[in-house]
């Protein structure tokens, strides 16, 4: 099997591990600050990312590679709402861009199973991106009134 494919799968896994860490940090901070509704959203998205990381690891193992256990960066802590959401949007935008490129690489390497995996992840990542963009838009347009709906 292609080393190129294993490399893009591992790069994606590292990104997913970072996303898990980032979204769980946000979940804990938001929960602690009594923003339970948004905390729950962050927890669910982190769980989605955990499933992605596992799917990538399973494919890497099938290709006789070794799944990375190293996140692609450090989770940021103590961010304000707007900063948090902008960081999350950037993380998801980068994932969408990377997974599109990775699907092409897999196709070029004649690995349609890995290509299909990236394409399936893309749909979920685009959903996360849309959700973060919508929340940020509501915060920017409605301010404290919207933020108040995220408590409890």
Q: Is the predicted pLDDT of residue 126 greater than 90, yes or no?
A: yes
* Local confidence band at 125 (pLDDT 50, 70, 90 cut-offs): very high
The CATH H-level superfamily of 3-66+80-148 is: Ferritin, core subunit, four-helix bundle (1.20.1260.10)
> What pLDDT does residue 32 have?
96
C-alpha torsion angle, residues 105, 110, 111, 115 (rounded to 10): 50
Task: Give long-range contacts, CB 8 A cutoff, 24+ apart: 63-70.
Answer: 63/1, 63/2, 63/5, 63/6, 63/9, 63/114, 64/1, 65/1, 65/6, 65/9, 65/10, 67/10, 67/13, 68/10, 68/13, 68/14, 68/17, 69/17, 70/14, 70/17
End-to-end CA distance of the chain: 50
Provide the residue ranges of all domains of the chain, joining segments of one domain with +.
3-66+80-148
* Local confidence band at 24 (pLDDT 50, 70, 90 cut-offs): very high
> What pLDDT does residue 152 have?
78
Q: Which helix (H) or strand (E) holds 77?
A: none
Helices 3-32, 36-62: inter-axial angle, 10-degree rounding: 160
Share of residues in the chain with pLDDT > 90 (%): 96
Share of residues in the chain with pLDDT > 70 (%): 99
Q: Is the predicted pLDDT of residue 30 greater than 80, yes or no?
A: yes
> What pLDDT does residue 9 have?
98
Mean pLDDT across 106-127? 97
């Amino acid at each position: 099997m292609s080393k190129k494919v294993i490399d893009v799968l591992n790069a994606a896994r590292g990104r997913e591990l970072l996303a898990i860490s980032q979204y769980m940090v946000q979940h804990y901070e938001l929960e602690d600050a009594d923003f339970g509704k948004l905390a729950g959203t962050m927890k669910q998205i982190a769980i989605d990312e955990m499933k992605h990381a596992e799917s990538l690891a399973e494919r890497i193992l099938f290709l006789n590679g070794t799944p990375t256990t190293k996140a692609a960066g450090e989770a940021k802590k103590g961010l304000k709402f707007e900063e948090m959401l902008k960081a999350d949007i950037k993380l998801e935008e980068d994932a969408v861009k990377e997974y599109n490129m990775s699907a092409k690489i897999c196709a070029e390497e004649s690995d349609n199973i890995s290509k299909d995996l990236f394409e399936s992840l893309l749909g979920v990542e685009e959903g996360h991106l849309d959700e973060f963009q919508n929340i940020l838009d509501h915060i920017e347009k409605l301010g404290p009134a919207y933020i108040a709906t995220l408590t409890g």
